[in-house]
């Protein structure tokens, strides 16, 4: 019995609030942190219904508490409509145990340097905020942060794993201090106005690097090849000027590679290596200056694009799993792709989306047959290049393909009937090539319109108005005397010679007869008829007749 009394004594000593109020026993939140949160939210015009004094802050919307200590470790207020200014003396900075902070998609105008007081911060999400003066505008300006990246970012603890500053109005260069964030796994700086070259190195733990939509230039740092955990590399819509980074093919976990709309150039070497980009699911290098043949070796080794299990069943409801998905933000990656003829931004990347886009370059040669082995492909765009030869019959094996664009090339031959096996195809564009013959019919091919085939003068059949079949035979009546010399077309052959001979003979006889009839010209008569007869005129003079010789 003594041990039970001792247990109750120790229990009441460590939890004195239990003895005074049984209702407060369920409170996990610390009183000072509850007060700091209420004071923080009161500085904005927006109220949050569950944030009430006298209730446990650990049960409030957007609050995450440590289940053992009770300290507030997560604050997610993304998109709740906070409107105002985050002051330097804000009680937010008293949350000393805060590890994850999301203030994205609100109406801020600045973030003070005091945010660096949150020394245990691991995740900072400040993307896509609006100017408070522009909140009612249809196209507001993203400018939570203006100018260069503030030093506050550099002053945050090196334990920071997640940093999202995308969709702001940041300018300048990326400070080298970001390279010192040795634990950084997720870095999103997309849709800002950064310029200059990329940092020489990044954290070796980086799994997502999204720098899309800036003004970066120069070469890619080869140190990226040491980022063995890299899953997503999105460098689209910048001014990077380099050759294809073949050294990235050693990254076994790379799933998304986007280099679109830059100044990359030159051929892509067909490396004789195994396991080239084995995990790659999205490969977009469109809108550059690449040349030479299509990289057959890569198509042959895209193992993830051959695996159809990821596009079957309910997998379409799942999104790409990244190492940092334990964060409340979920490490959602966005990527802009061109599919089904439109430019689309995927806010989250589905597992089932497998795509290759090599359009708007200067690739030449034939389309490799091996491309038909990439059974998991959903989108394939090879348009606006210099490709020649036939469309491979193997493309008929791409039964999950939804969008195929081969337009604006120099492809020849017929459209393979095997393409009608593509049961999932929704958008087809074969326009502006040199294709000939009858358009295959059946299944999805019966749904396509003229736009899919325009610019191919040799094509016929539905849906085109040009019908297929042999040319109608033209019957010509024998030439008559009335029309033998008025033939409209002239061809060298026995018919032409006969017609020419007949016309010449008739004309010659006519002219000869006329010449001899009138005796002119004299030289022609002398050649064929000897000396012409002299004509004598008689005239009378003084009653006598005088003979006058006329020449």
Q: Tell me the pLDDT of the chain averaged across its residues.
A: 78
Scan for tokens 């985050």, then name that residue. 86
pLDDT tens per residue, range 394-415: 999 999 999 999 999 999 999 9
User: Which of 52-56, 147-151, 311-315 has the weakest average pLDDT?
Assistant: 311-315
Torsion, Cα of 457, 430, 453, 414 (10° steps): 60
The token pair at 85 is 């200014």
The sign of the dihedral angle between the CA atoms of 298, 299, 301, 304 is positive
CA gap 375, 299 in Å, rounded:
11
- What is the three-class DSSP state of 299? helix
CA gap 101, 72 in Å, rounded:
11
* Contact (Cβ atoms closer than 8 angstroms) between residue 42 and residue 36: no
Q: Can you state the angle between helices 522-529 and 494-518, rounded to 10 degrees?
A: 100
* Contact (Cβ atoms closer than 8 angstroms) between residue 57 and residue 32: no
Cis ω on the peptide bond leading into residue 455 (within 30° of 0)? no
Q: What's the pTM value of the predicted model, to 2 decimals?
A: 0.75
Please report which confidence band the pLDDT of residue 121 belongs to, taking 50, 70 and 90 as the band edges. Answer: confident
The reported pLDDT for the residue numbered 139 is 36
User: Which of 10-24, 79-93, 183-197, 328-342 has the weakest average pLDDT?
Assistant: 10-24
CA gap 47, 388 in Å, rounded:
63
Q: What is the DSSP letter of 310?
A: G
The reported pLDDT for the residue numbered 168 is 84
Strands 282-284 and 355-357: parallel
φ/ψ of 201, rounded to 5, equals -155, 160
Q: Domain coordinates of the chain in residue numbers?
A: 29-422, 495-550
pLDDT tens per residue, range 496-510: 444 554 555 555 555
The reported pLDDT for the residue numbered 138 is 37
Go through the chain and tell me how many residues it has.
551
* Contact (Cβ atoms closer than 8 angstroms) between residue 81 and residue 103: no
Torsion, Cα of 63, 205, 281, 329 (10° steps): 10
Q: What is the DSSP letter of 12?
A: H
Under CATH, domain 29-422 is a member of which superfamily?
Answer: Ribonuclease Inhibitor (3.80.10.10)
The reported pLDDT for the residue numbered 413 is 97
User: Which of 176-190, 323-337, 435-449 has the weakest average pLDDT?
Assistant: 323-337
* Contact (Cβ atoms closer than 8 angstroms) between residue 420 and residue 442: yes
The token pair at 172 is 């300048």
* Contact (Cβ atoms closer than 8 angstroms) between residue 450 and residue 428: no
* pLDDT (mean) for 442-450: 90
Residue 148 has pLDDT above 80, yes or no: no
> What is the H or E stretch that residue 436 is in?
strand 434-438
The reported pLDDT for the residue numbered 547 is 42
The sign of the dihedral angle between the CA atoms of 134, 137, 142, 146 is negative
From residue 152, how far is each of 25, 155, 195, 345 by CA, in Å? 39, 5, 20, 30
Please report which confidence band the pLDDT of residue 307 belongs to, taking 50, 70 and 90 as the band edges. Answer: confident
* Contact (Cβ atoms closer than 8 angstroms) between residue 375 and residue 354: no
Residue 356 has pLDDT above 80, yes or no: yes
The token pair at 279 is 């995990």
* Contact (Cβ atoms closer than 8 angstroms) between residue 381 and residue 356: yes
> What is the H or E stretch that residue 37 is in?
helix 31-42
Which of the pair, 268 or 181, is modelled with greater confidence? 268
């Amino acid at each position: 019995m003594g041990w039970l009394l001792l247990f109750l004594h120790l229990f009441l000593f460590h939890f004195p609030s239990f003895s005074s109020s049984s209702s407060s026993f369920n409170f996990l939140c610390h009183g000072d942190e509850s007060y700091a949160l209420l004071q923080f939210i009161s500085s904005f015009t927006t109220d949050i219904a569950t944030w009430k004094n006298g209730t446990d802050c650990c049960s409030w919307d957007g609050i995450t508490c440590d289940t053992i200590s009770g300290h507030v470790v997560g604050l997610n207020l993304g998109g709740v409509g906070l409107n105002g200014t985050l002051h330097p003396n804000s009680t937010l900075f008293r949350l000393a145990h805060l590890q994850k902070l999301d203030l994205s998609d609100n109406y801020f105008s600045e973030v003070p340097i005091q945010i660096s007081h949150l020394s245990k911060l691991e995740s900072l999400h400040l993307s896509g905020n609006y100017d408070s003066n522009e909140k009612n505008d249809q196209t507001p300006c993203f400018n939570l942060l203006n100018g260069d990246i503030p030093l506050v970012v550099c002053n945050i603890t090196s334990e920071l794993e997640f940093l999202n500053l995308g969709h702001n109005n940041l300018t300048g260069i990326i400070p080298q201090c970001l390279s010192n964030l040795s634990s950084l796994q997720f870095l999103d700086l997309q849709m800002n106005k950064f310029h200059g070259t990329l940092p020489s190195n990044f954290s070796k733990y980086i799994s997502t690097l999204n720098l899309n939509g800036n003004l970066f230039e120069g070469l890619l740092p080869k140190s990226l090849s040491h980022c063995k955990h890299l899953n997503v590399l999105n460098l689209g819509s910048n001014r990077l000027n380099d050759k294809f980074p073949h050294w990235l093919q050693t990254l076994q976990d790379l799933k998304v590679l986007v280099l679109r709309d830059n100044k990359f150039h030159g051929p892509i070497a067909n490396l004789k290596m195994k396991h080239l980009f084995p995990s790659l699911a999205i490969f977009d290098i469109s809108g550059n200056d690449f040349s030479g043949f299509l990289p057959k070796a890569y198509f042959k080794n895209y193992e993830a694009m051959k695996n159809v299990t990821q596009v079957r069943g309910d997998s379409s409801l799942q999104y790409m799993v990244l190492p940092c998905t334990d964060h409340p933000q979920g490490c959602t990656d966005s990527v802009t792709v061109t599919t089904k003829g439109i430019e689309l931004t995927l806010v989250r990347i589905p597992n089932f989306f497998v795509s290759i886009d090599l359009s708007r370059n200067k690739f030449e040669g034939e389309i490799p047959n091996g491309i038909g082995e990439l059974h998991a492909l959903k989108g394939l765009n090879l348009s606006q290049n210099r490709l020649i030869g036939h469309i491979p019959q193997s493309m008929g094996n791409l039964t999950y393909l939804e969008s195929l664009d081969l337009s604006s090339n120099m492809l020849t031959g017929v459209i393979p009937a095997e393409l009608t096996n593509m049961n999932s195809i929704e958008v087809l564009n074969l326009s502006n090539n040199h294709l000939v013959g009858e358009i295959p019919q059946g299944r999805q091919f019966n749904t396509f319109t003229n736009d899919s085939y325009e610019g191919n003068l040799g094509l016929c059949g539905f849906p085109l108005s040009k019908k297929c079949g042999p040319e109608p035979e033209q019957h010509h009546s024998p030439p008559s005397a009335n029309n033998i010399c008025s033939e409209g077309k002239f061809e060298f052959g026995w018919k032409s010679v006969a017609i020419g001979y007949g016309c010449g003979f008739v004309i010659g006889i006519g002219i000869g007869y006329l010449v001899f009839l009138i005796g002119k010209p004299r030289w022609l008569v002398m050649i064929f008829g000897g000396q012409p007869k002299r004509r004598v005129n008689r005239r009378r003079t003084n009653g006598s007749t005088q003979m006058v010789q006329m020449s």
